[in-house]
Structure 1
Amino acid sequence: MISISLAAEAGYAVPPLWRILTKAGYFIGLSGAIGATVTYAASIRPALRAPENDRGDVGVIRRRTAGYLAWAGVVLLVAGYFQLAGRVARAGKGMPFGEALAPGLIWDFLRAPAAKGAWIAQGTIYLVQNLVLVLASAVLISLFLPRARRRLDALALTALPLTLAVTLVAAVPATKPKDADKWLDLVFSQTHIVSGVVWAGGLTLLATLAGARGRLSQDAGALWADVWGRFAFVALTCVGAVFTSGLWLSWKHVGSVSQLWTTTYGLFLLVKILLVLGMVTAGGVNQFWLMPRIARARRDDATSSLLRLTLGHFPKVVWGEVALGIAVLAIVPFLGGSARSEAGSPSVVSSGSVFAMGAVLVLALAASLYITVRTSDALARRTAPAVS
Structure 2
Amino acid sequence: MPLPLPPSDVLPYTAAAAPSTPLGPFEDSAVAWTTWATLMGFTGLVALALLAAGPAAARLTPGTLAGVTARLARAAAVLGVLAVPAVLTDLAHGASENGGYDYSAAWSALYDGSNAGRLLGLEVTLVLAGAVLVAPLTLRRYAAGPARRPLLAAGLAAGAVALGTTKFPDAVPDDWSRTTFETAMWMLHLLGGAVWTGGLVGLLLLAAPGAVAPADRGAFWSPAIRRFSAAAMSCVTAIALSGLFLYWEHVDGLSQLLSTMYGRVLGVKILIFGTLLLLGAFNQFWLHPRIDALREAGDRRPAHVLLLRTFPSVVAAEAVLALSVLFVAPFLHGSARNQAYQADVAAHSPTVDPGNLPKLPQKEVSAATWVWGTGETLLVLALMVGGYVLSGRLARRRAARTADAAPVLAAPVGEAL
What is the TM-score of this pair, normalised by structure 2?
0.81
The one-letter amino acid of 1:110's match is: L
Determine if the alignment matches structure 1 residue 268 to structure 2 residue 277. no
Determine if the alignment matches structure 1 residue 305 to structure 2 residue 302. yes
Q: 1:77 to 1:144 in 2, by over 3 A?
A: farther
Determine if the alignment matches structure 1 residue 57 to structure 2 residue 59. no
* 1:94-105 matched pairs, under 5 angstroms: 95-102=97-104, 105=105
The count of aligned residue pairs is 366
Determine if the alignment matches structure 1 residue 41 to structure 2 residue 41. no
Q: Is the 8 A contact 1:225 1:310 kept in 2?
A: no
> Which of the numbers 65, 68, 74 marks the counterpart of 1:67?
74
Q: Which residue is 1:4 aligned to?
A: none
Q: Is the 8 A contact 1:80 1:133 kept in 2?
A: no
CA deviation digits over 1:96-117, x for unaligned, max 9? 3534222xx2343335454xxx
> Which of the numbers 176, 188, 192 marks the counterpart of 1:191?
188
CA deviation digits over 1:17-60, x for unaligned, max 9? 4421221111101221110111111101111211xx24443343
CA deviation digits over 1:86-134, x for unaligned, max 9? 4534xxxxx23534222xx2343335454xxxxxx32122223322232
Q: Is the 8 A contact 2:252 2:337 kept in 1?
A: yes
> Which of the numbers 109, 125, 135 marks the counterpart of 1:131?
125
The one-letter amino acid of 2:222's match is: A
- Distance in 2 of aligned mates of 1:234 and 1:224: 15
Q: Which residue is 1:158 aligned to?
A: 154
The one-letter amino acid of 1:98's match is: G
Q: Which residue is 1:14 aligned to?
A: 23
> Which of the numbers 35, 50, 63 marks the counterpart of 1:26?
35
Q: Which residue is 2:317 aligned to?
A: 320
The one-letter amino acid of 2:235's match is: C
Q: 1:101 to 1:251 in 2, by over 3 A?
A: same
Q: Which residue is 1:118 aligned to?
A: none
- In terms of Rg, which structure is larger? 2
Q: Is the 8 A contact 2:73 2:135 kept in 1?
A: no
- Distance in 2 of aligned mates of 1:79 and 1:49: 34
- Distance in 2 of aligned mates of 1:147 and 1:377: 36
Q: 1:99 to 1:302 in 2, by over 3 A?
A: closer
The one-letter amino acid of 1:108's match is: S
- Distance in 2 of aligned mates of 1:34 and 1:271: 25
Q: Is the 8 A contact 2:65 2:143 kept in 1?
A: no
Q: Which residue is 1:348 aligned to?
A: 363
* 1:170-319 matched pairs, under 5 angstroms: 170-179=166-175, 180-212=177-209, 216-319=213-316
Determine if the alignment matches structure 1 residue 334 to structure 2 residue 331. yes
- Distance in 2 of aligned mates of 1:245 and 1:62: 31
Gaps of 5+ in 2: 1-16, 343-359, 403-408, 410-415
CA RMSD of aligned residues (A): 2.4
Q: Is the 8 A contact 2:206 2:212 kept in 1?
A: no
Greater Cα offset, 105-114 or 309-318: 105-114
Q: Secondary structure at the match of 2:165?
A: helix
- Distance in 1 of aligned mates of 2:85 and 2:151: 20
Q: Is the 8 A contact 1:76 1:137 kept in 2?
A: no
Gaps of 5+ in 1: 1-7, 90-94, 115-120
What is the TM-score of this pair, normalised by structure 1?
0.86
Q: Is the 8 A contact 2:46 2:152 kept in 1?
A: yes
Q: Which residue is 2:108 aligned to?
A: 108
Shift of 1:258: 1.0
The one-letter amino acid of 1:96's match is: N
The one-letter amino acid of 2:45's match is: A
The one-letter amino acid of 2:386's match is: I
Q: 1:38 to 1:62 in 2, by over 3 A?
A: closer
The one-letter amino acid of 1:212's match is: P
